Structure 1
């Protein structure tokens, strides 16, 4: 099993279900107003990224069980600039080469196409748990690639991808008991207001920018136009009165 498969199993735990609910709500808000013809979600069909989107062709792709199209996330069977929306729910956290997956997503996106990304914040309470001795739960957030948001934004900029909107989610403590999760729900409102960068998950709405080429005009030799000759003015014949 791949790390993504282990993470898919972890989503069935109380903490994983809490995470999936939060991300389903975010993807629902962001994907609803993205228009086009073709949308693809890579991996993790347990998180419904395209449910509210209205594009006529939508599919899930990847190597995880339950996807509609089997393919490697870094080798997509789509033509260049053929998709209007690509969703990456934690794919960059658990693949071997996240930069290659990001580069492939940029390749298949149309100009002005959208890329929706979620990932774990390595400096949140969830992310810092990876330093705890014995934190070896397979598929858990603290077993991923731990990509920091500044590093990810640098990669996006190099690929011509611009972040237009971002958000943090999941401020509750990383506890697997429903009772404790419910008790710490107050941290959602407090965290979003007082320490937003401490959210356990970052969410990015990204657009692919294709800069217009600068047209260099040829230096045409100017030919002076012939000067217009002044129109001839007819002389007025004086009125001569016959002398009486």
Structure 2
């Protein structure tokens, strides 16, 4: 279960949400470096981070689950946010260079169909960026923040989900090391938050409240095989077989 877009929008406007946005965004920036992002699709509720990515992108579209609702983005231009089913995206194959997931994977019933659909719309060599609550962090154990809702992941579990969907994990980082306890004196947390983040990255990385993981879509070439008579046959790649099987299930369901 994911929170609705209005609740997420309200939380990110609080002091706690502003700090979380800052520290998660800085962690993502370090992970991505200076790379261009080209055509990007943001899924779930990526709104707090879109302004950071916009200067690097040729285009950005946003897709939110229907049950979450849509928050307009950008605020002062034509809306680029649509409602959709995460496992049935209304885009052609190989449409995007990057897909970013925030406040999505922990709330879907099954991560694999969603990740396989993202694999479909990514270009070969495209990247997926996942921001998900860390099972070993404090933020997943408190429901006073969005990362305390839904299903948290350990780093190994998130990696397994990506690999089963035929992605190759490339690198990962952690963010939100400060405790999710904000009271009237939140200014102290703002003052010491950067110190918490720096110390956590250096000594306590697995205890971060959020995992940020980057993975790549790799398409393997077809391999020529010979049968007993010496006739050359083509062996389809694993992604091609999985995709064919998926389409077969969809047709039979119709």
Does TM, normalized by the shorter one, top 0.5?
A: yes
Work out whether 1:179 is the aligned partner of 2:187.
yes
* CA distance in structure 1 between the aligned counterparts of 2:136 and 2:2, rounded to whole angstroms: 25
Q: Which runs of 4+ in 1 moved over 6 A?
A: none
Q: Match of 1:40?
A: 41
- Structure with greater helix share of residues: 2
Match of 1:239 in 2: none
CA contact (8 A) 2:2 2:150 kept: no
Q: Which runs of 5+ in 1 are unaligned?
A: 221-244
Larger strand percent: 2
Q: Which runs of 5+ in 2 are unaligned?
A: 74-79, 232-254
Aligned mates of 2:112, 2:72 — CA distance in 1: 24
TM-score by length of 1: 0.76
TM-fit CA distance, 1:20: 0.9
CA RMSD, Structure 1 to Structure 2 (Å): 2.5
Residue of structure 2 equivalent to 1:211? 220
| Correspondence list, 1:18-97, <5 A | 18-29=19-30, 30=32, 32-36=34-38, 38-44=39-45, 45-48=47-50, 50-54=53-57, 56-62=58-64, 63-67=69-73, 68-72=80-84, 73-97=86-110
| Gap change, CA 1:25 and 1:215, over 3 Å in 2 | same
Cα distance per residue 1:94-127 (max 9 Å; x no partner): 3444333222211211111011111111211222
Shift of 1:191: 1.3
Q: Could you tell me how far apart the structure 1 residues matched to 2:138 and 2:37 are?
A: 36
User: Which piece of structure 1 moves more, 4-13 or 203-212?
Assistant: 4-13
SS in 2 for 1:111: strand
TM-score (normalizing by structure 2): 0.73
Mark the CA change 1:115 to 1:31 in structure 2 (over 3 Å): closer, same or farther.
farther
Give the whole-Å Cα distance in 2 for the aligned partners of 1:195 and 1:172: 11
Residue of structure 1 equivalent to 2:239: none
SS of residue in 2 equivalent to 1:152: helix
1:230 aligns with none
When residues 185 and 142 of structure 1 are mapped into structure 2, their CA distance, relative to the original with a 3 A threshold, is: same
**Residues 64-213 of structure 1: pairs in structure 2 closer than 5 A:** 64-67=70-73, 68-72=80-84, 73-127=86-140, 129-130=141-142, 135=143, 137=144, 140-177=146-183, 178-181=186-189, 182-213=191-222
Q: For residues 23 and 64 of structure 1, what CA distance do their matches in structure 2 show?
A: 22
- Where 1:88 maps in the other structure, the secondary structure is strand
Change (3 A) 1:144 1:71: same
Instruction: Tell me how far 1:88 sits from its aligned partner.
Output: 0.8
CA drift of 1:35 comes to 5.0
Larger radius of gyration: 1
